[in-house]
């Protein structure tokens, strides 16, 4: 059985682009959880938040975690809030290697400031403050993940190389 590789971390830390590179290098299927949820719901995550609330989104996310935890040989990029439910991390840890990507708030702001698909930042004129507030609330959850990669001064390719190196040590 080939363990899954699961990338967690705050928005803008590079989970999706790094995951795509890792999957390509290791000849694995790449799954972006947010894209799967949008596809299945038939609407953008921001619309799910607006129409049905964050609780509904988290329920869809939880269901997908349970489904993906039953599969193998995947590279999975999670949404930034997947750590809010400890059962998600527990499920992923049973069948895979969970790695947390992190970056400092200024780098995150630079990476996400022009993106329109960040529901937790929509309608907020002070995105820097919102990012810092959310990071502060989630910091302990992210730090609880044993394997960490700092993406501040990395290209996605650099981060992917670190992910591959860390997962080879986990075997």
Question: What are the residue ranges spanned by the domains of the chain?
Answer: 4-165
Residue 122 reports pLDDT greater than 80: no
Write the CB contacts of 126 (distance below 8 Å, at least 6 apart in sequence): none
Does residue 73 have a pLDDT over 70?
Answer: yes
Please give the radius of gyration of the chain, using alpha carbons only, rounded to the nearest integer.
15
Least confident of 2-6, 35-39, 63-67: 2-6
19-28, 90-99, 119-128 — which is least confidently predicted?
A: 119-128
The domain defined by 4-165 folds into Rossmann fold (3.40.50)
What percent of the chain has a predicted confidence (pLDDT) above 90?
A: 66
Distance, CA of 22 to CA of 7 (rounded, Å): 10
Q: How confident is the model at residue 7 (pLDDT cuts 50, 70, 90)?
A: very high
pLDDT digits (tens, 9 = 90+) for 32-42: 999 999 999 99
Are the C-beta atoms of residues 82 and 61 closer than 8 Å to each other?
A: yes
Whether 44 has a pLDDT exceeding 80, the answer reads yes
Residue 124 has pLDDT above 80, yes or no: no
């Amino acid at each position: 059985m080939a363990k899954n590789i699961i990338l967690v971390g705050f928005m803008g830390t590079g989970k999706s682009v790094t995951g795509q590179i890792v999957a390509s290098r290791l000849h694995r299927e790449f799954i972006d959880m947010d894209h799967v949820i949008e596809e299945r719901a038939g609407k953008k995550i921001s619309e799910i938040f607006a129409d049905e609330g964050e609780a509904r989104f988290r329920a869809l996310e939880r269901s997908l975690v349970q489904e993906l935890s039953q599969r193998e040989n995947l590279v999975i990029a999670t949404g930034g809030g997947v750590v809010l439910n400890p059962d998600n991390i527990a499920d992923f840890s049973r069948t895979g290697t969970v790695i947390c990507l992190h970056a400092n708030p200024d780098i995150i702001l630079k990476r996400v400031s022009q993106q329109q698909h960040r529901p937790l930042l929509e309608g907020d004129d002070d995105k820097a403050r919102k990012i810092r507030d959310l990071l502060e609330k989630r910091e302990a959850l992210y730090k609880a993940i044993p394997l960490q990669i700092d993406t501040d001064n990395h290209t996605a390719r650099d981060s992917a190389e670190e992910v591959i190196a860390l997962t080879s040590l986990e075997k």
